[in-house]
């Protein structure tokens, strides 16, 4: 199987920032592409998304978007549906899911994408309200 192709697509610079953060942990990710939409009045980003879809092979590609139901997500969903390719799309991307996708192996299908989403289900915690002292052990143990 060829190297997995990963597309991160977002409003503004989120996709670029997530790619750079992933590369901080994993090293250079040649097969990961970041598309930042709405940086100007151009719609060139749509051509980049279409090219990714056109050149993607089923089982080897996945697309992650920022906001479920947002304009970038809607455009990606429509373009993938029109291509009739079975390319998994994950929305509400964050660093844990980007890392999980980059590190995953095997056929990239909806089943694997769903499992990765479940494994990375976001948990947002207000640390001011999270009483670490209620946990057994000290802070080093909690964060370690």
Which pLDDT tens digit goes with each residue over 3-15?
Answer: 899 999 999 999 9
The closest alpha carbon to 98, from 36, 6, 5, 35, belongs to 6
C-alpha distances in Å from residue 23, one per residue of 17, 103, 108: 10, 12, 21
Instruction: Give pLDDT, residue 130.
Output: 67
Instruction: Give pLDDT, residue 144.
Output: 58
Instruction: Give pLDDT, residue 61.
Output: 98
Contact between residue 61 and residue 90 where contact means Cβ atoms under 8 Å apart: no
Q: Supply the pTM of this predicted model.
A: 0.89
Instruction: Give pLDDT, residue 136.
Output: 56
Instruction: Give pLDDT, residue 14.
Output: 98
Instruction: Report residues of the chain scoring pLDDT below 50.
Output: none
User: Residue 88: what are its φ and ψ, rounded to 5°?
Assistant: -60, 145
Instruction: Give pLDDT, residue 116.
Output: 97
Instruction: Give pLDDT, residue 126.
Output: 80
Instruction: Give pLDDT, residue 125.
Output: 76
Instruction: Give pLDDT, residue 134.
Output: 59
């Amino acid at each position: 199987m060829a190297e997995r192709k990963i597309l991160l697509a977002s409003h503004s610079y989120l996709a670029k920032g997530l790619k750079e953060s992933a590369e901080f942990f994993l090293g250079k990710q040649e097969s990961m592409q970041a598309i930042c939409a709405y940086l100007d009045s151009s719609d060139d980003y749509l051509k980049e998304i279409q090219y990714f879809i056109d050149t993607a092979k089923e089982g080897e590609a996945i697309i992650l978007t920022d906001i479920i139901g947002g304009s970038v997500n809607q455009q990606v969903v429509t373009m993938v549906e029109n291509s009739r390719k079975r390319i998994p799309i994950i929305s509400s991307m964050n660093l844990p899911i980007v890392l999980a996708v980059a590190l995953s192996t095997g056929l990239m299908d909806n089943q694997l994408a769903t499992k990765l989403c479940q494994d990375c289900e976001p948990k947002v915690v207000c640390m001011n309200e999270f009483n670490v002292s209620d946990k057994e052990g000290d802070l080093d143990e909690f964060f370690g």
